[in-house]
Homo-oligomer: A and B are copies of this chain.
């Protein structure tokens, strides 16, 4: 049954209290408090240069965007955490993820504003910042945690120990930033994990994970897919070989395709420590949704998966653009936080990847025409017959 429609709020609950103070723009957005925060280490921003005010302000704007991103990601995570995700919530989840992506795109473009600072402009106030560093942005850490980046996947940074230690006050006590990061860790299940759970429950060819024939249905789907994949792969290999110039090249191509086939097969038979049968089902479900996305019940799930990939791609674009800005602004000298600077940023950009299974699926998709028919497509249809 459909959830009941949200009840109409009785009009009187909205009737304005006569003596409510009329809203002003400046109170509503707290304008004066907001514009009093750009003084850095000085008492007033009148005492510091336009360049430094710009530097501070752009970082504040990044943090405001991060706050919005964090809220959307938490909302998406909470939605997918629930044991049953109503289908009509999915378009809303997609909007949350797309909003995060839209904001990340803005962030990418903000580096151009910092780049109106020349190296020398920046140097004129750089020493003051020591040993602060953008690495101390708690919200970027929180975003990574909510997404599901694991501690062991992080690249160690400077001499200081991990990213949590970097958030200590200088006297060794926990900063607010540190506490908020720890609270976020304590929130438990990440968006990645919640999505995994949700994928795990997805019925494959009409059969859910708790059905008695769950394994058979899953195996049948994967077997047929692999057969189709291999047949597609053979075609591509044969084309490649037909253009080979010599036997060496034939051998090289043959190996390349054999390797790809082996890695696809391995992807769907993960070892126990890589998650075993549970991981197998999750990966198969993601592939299933991508493959049969036109079915009404799968259209929005597919948008969810695509939005996750789009968002994570944009996060990578953001990290790489960040590295480019730092390189242009100050070159490859040591960062104020004692970091390796540019090289570190470039490394994290490529390594910090959360939705690895979804990215892997892109490597092994096949043409629509090459996919087998389902046994139970009607399972995924609307109530109204077309």
Contact = CB atoms under 8 A, between A and B. Distances in A.
A243 B159 CA distance: 13
A159 to B, nearest CB: 6
A242 B366 contact: no
Interface in A1-37: 1-9, 11, 14-16, 18, 20-35, 37
A33 to B, nearest CB: 6
A129 interface: yes
A128 B350 CA distance: 31
A377 B24 contact: no
Contacts of A361: 331
A95 B75 contact: no
Contact of A381 (B2, B75, B242, B330): B2
A47 interface: no
Interface stretch (A169-177, A193-201, A278-286): A169-177
A386 B86 contact: yes
A260 to B, nearest CB: 6
A24 B138 CA distance: 12
24 contacts: A2-B378, A2-B380, A4-B373, A5-B292, A5-B374, A5-B377, A7-B369, A8-B372, A16-B235, A22-B131, A22-B243, A23-B129, A24-B132, A28-B56, A31-B63, A91-B293, A120-B290, A123-B367, A253-B338, A256-B334, A297-B382, A310-B328, A320-B324, A331-B360
A339 B296 CA distance: 38
Contacts of A212: none
Contacts of A243: 22, 130-131, 170
Contacts of A15: 235, 238
A132 B25 contact: yes
Chain A contact residues: over half helix, strand or loop, or mixed? helix
A112 interface: yes
Contacts of A300: 299
Interface string A126-161: 011111111111110000000000000000000100
Interface stretch (A101-109, A184-192, A269-277): A101-109
Given A9-B370, A119-B365, A159-B249, 17 more contacts: A2-B295, A2-B386, A6-B369, A15-B238, A23-B131, A25-B132, A25-B133, A25-B137, A28-B41, A57-B67, A87-B296, A88-B294, A88-B299, A91-B294, A92-B294, A119-B290, A159-B252
Contacts of A86: 386
A215 interface: no
A383 B379 contact: yes
B138 A26 contact: yes
